[in-house]
């Protein structure tokens, strides 16, 4: 094992070292209580303080307005593919979805179980190399909402401006939440699995405008109604206590780093280092069109399969872990989430330049 390892996994992904060290202590003995964080009741005062602080930090960092609820749910981001239409879309109503990758595709499939779905834009035919720019599509004015995936983890594309439409926005922000400022008030609902930018897997963050809670029909099972969890402050049943705790620790760290404005600056710095290498030679080919490039997931290929195998071998030897691209796309993907150290990206960029020269 190399001395220093850089974790480029797409999720679960790198977390701040100091958070991991603190968690190791808190698992054994939380706040000198003589009990670990994963063995205390979710109704204890100690855990109530944890979940309340975590919510307060998310509200502060993202600027969540007072008329929105912040929920901690289970079932992964994938459960939101059906929970969103189950709660917000009636059978005879229409919702619009922008199809920019595998995760929007899955969400579209689920939404069709509940109502009419229109897809005013899809980049599927061209291999999901881009997201639409303003004016490239029109949204049916009857749409209950316009759904999109702000960052496409697999393909390495990202919306750099939020869609401009009169329709209510709903977004899957699983892989770029809290990496840049967002005007939450433009959204009806935002959700994100924790395991990329904000903490350990096992919890999904949902931010929902309060007036939408009552839209759900009575036939939806209790656990699957947002209002159930909103009314119980995410303590309707046992929440994933360790994951919520982990998100709270990452939020403290994020605040101390300077919040989302600092994360935004850093993520641009990190990804530019790699895009500059990709653009400076014909050796690497970026998957995404330039205007759609993601600051979170940098995707690229090499000229031949043999060179890709060599690149994978040598990067792994150097301690660059998790660079293999998603199985649907092949090639490579460097995931550069909030906790990723800048110097690790600089080292990878240097390695990539040398590798291109030598090969």
- Indicate the residue among 103 and 226 with the shorter CB distance to ligand PMP: 103
Task: By CB under 6 A, tell whether 149 contacts ligand PMP.
Answer: yes
Segment 271 to 310, residues that bind ligand PMP, using CB under 6 A? none
- Indicate the residue among 117 and 277 with the shorter CB distance to ligand PMP: 117
301 is in an annotated binding site: no
How many residues bind to ligand PMP according to rule CB under 6 A?
A: 11
Whether 196 is a known active-site residue: answer: yes
Q: Region of 321 please: left (phi>0), alpha (psi -120 to 50) or beta.
A: beta
Question: What does the CA dihedral 266, 268, 271, 273 come to, rounded to 10 degrees?
Answer: -80
Rounded to a whole number of angstroms, the minimum distance from the CB of residue 136 to ligand PMP is 21
Segment 184 to 223, residues that bind ligand PMP, using CB under 6 A? 193
Task: By CB under 6 A, tell whether 171 contacts ligand PMP.
Answer: no
Task: By CB under 6 A, tell whether 123 contacts ligand PMP.
Answer: no
Task: By CB under 6 A, tell whether 47 contacts ligand PMP.
Answer: no
Q: Which of 72, 103, 242, 332 binds ligand PMP (CB under 6 A)?
A: 103
Q: Which of 76, 115, 181, 330 binds ligand PMP (CB under 6 A)?
A: 76
Q: How far apart are CA 61 and CA 205, in angstroms?
A: 14
56 is in an annotated binding site: no
Terminal Cα distance for the chain, rounded = 25
Q: How far apart are CA 334 and CA 61, in angstroms?
A: 26
Binding range to ligand PMP, per CB under 6 A, among 54-62, 73-81, 135-143, 257-265: 73-81
Task: By CB under 6 A, tell whether 153 contacts ligand PMP.
Answer: yes
Binding range to ligand PMP, per CB under 6 A, among 131-139, 169-177, 212-220, 263-271: 169-177
329: how many CB neighbours lie within 10 A of its CB? 18
Whether 253 is a known active-site residue: answer: no
Binding range to ligand PMP, per CB under 6 A, among 72-80, 211-219, 241-249, 253-261: 72-80
43 is in an annotated binding site: yes
Rounded to a whole number of angstroms, the minimum distance from the CB of residue 103 to ligand PMP is 4
Spell out the residues 6+ positions from residue 20 whose beta carbon is closer than 8 angstroms to its own. Answer: none
Q: Which of 123, 175, 294, 301 binds ligand PMP (CB under 6 A)?
A: 175
* Catalytic residue from among 26, 172, 176, 324: 172
Task: By CB under 6 A, tell whether 243 contacts ligand PMP.
Answer: no
- Indicate the residue among 175 and 249 with the shorter CB distance to ligand PMP: 175
Which residues would be at the binding site for ligand PMP (CB under 6 A)?
Answer: 11, 76-78, 103, 149, 153, 172, 174-175, 193
Q: Give catalytic residue positions.
A: 103, 172, 196
């Amino acid at each position: 094992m190399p001395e220093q390892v850089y974790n480029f996994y797409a999720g679960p992904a790198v977390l701040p070292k100091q958070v991991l060290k603190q968690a190791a202590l808190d698992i054994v003995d939380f706040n000198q209580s003589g009990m670990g964080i994963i063995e205390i009741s979710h109704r204890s005062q100690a855990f109530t303080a944890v979940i309340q602080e975590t919510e307060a930090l998310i509200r502060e960092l993202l600027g969540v307005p007072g008329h929105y609820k912040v929920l901690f749910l289970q079932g992964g981001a994938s459960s939101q593919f059906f929970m969103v239409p189950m709660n917000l879309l009636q059978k005879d109503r229409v919702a619009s979805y922008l199809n920019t990758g595998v995760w929007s595709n899955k969400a579209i499939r689920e939404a069709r179980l509940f109502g009419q779905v229109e897809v005013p834009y899809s980049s599927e035919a061209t291999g999901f190399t881009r997201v639409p720019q303003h004016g490239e599509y029109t949204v049916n004015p009857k749409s209950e909402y316009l759904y999109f995936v702000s960052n496409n983890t697999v393909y390495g594309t990202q919306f750099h401006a939020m869609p401009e439409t009169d329709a209510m926005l709903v977004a899957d922000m699983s892989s770029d939440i809290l990496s840049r400022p967002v005007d939450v008030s433009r959204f009806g609902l935002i959700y994100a699995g924790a395991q990329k930018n904000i903490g350990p897997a096992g919890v999904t963050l949902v931010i929902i405008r309060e007036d939408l809670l009552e839209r759900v029909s009575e036939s939806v099972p209790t656990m699957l109604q947002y209002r159930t969890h909103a009314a119980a402050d995410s303590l309707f049943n046992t929440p994933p206590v360790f994951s919520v705790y982990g998100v709270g620790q990452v939020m403290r760290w994020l605040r101390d780093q300077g919040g989302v404005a600092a994360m935004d600056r850093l993520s641009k710095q990190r990804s530019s280092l790699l895009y500059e290498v990709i653009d400076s030679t014909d050796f690497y080919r970026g998957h995404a069109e330039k205007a759609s490039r993601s600051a979170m997931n940098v995707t690229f290929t090499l000229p031949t399969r043999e060179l890709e195998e060599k690149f994978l071998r040598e990067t792994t030897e150097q301690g660059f872990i998790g660079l293999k691209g998603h199985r649907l796309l092949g090639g490579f993907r460097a995931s550069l989430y909030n906790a990723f150290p800048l110097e690790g990206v600089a080292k990878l960029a240097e390695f990539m330049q040398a590798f291109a020269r030598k090969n």
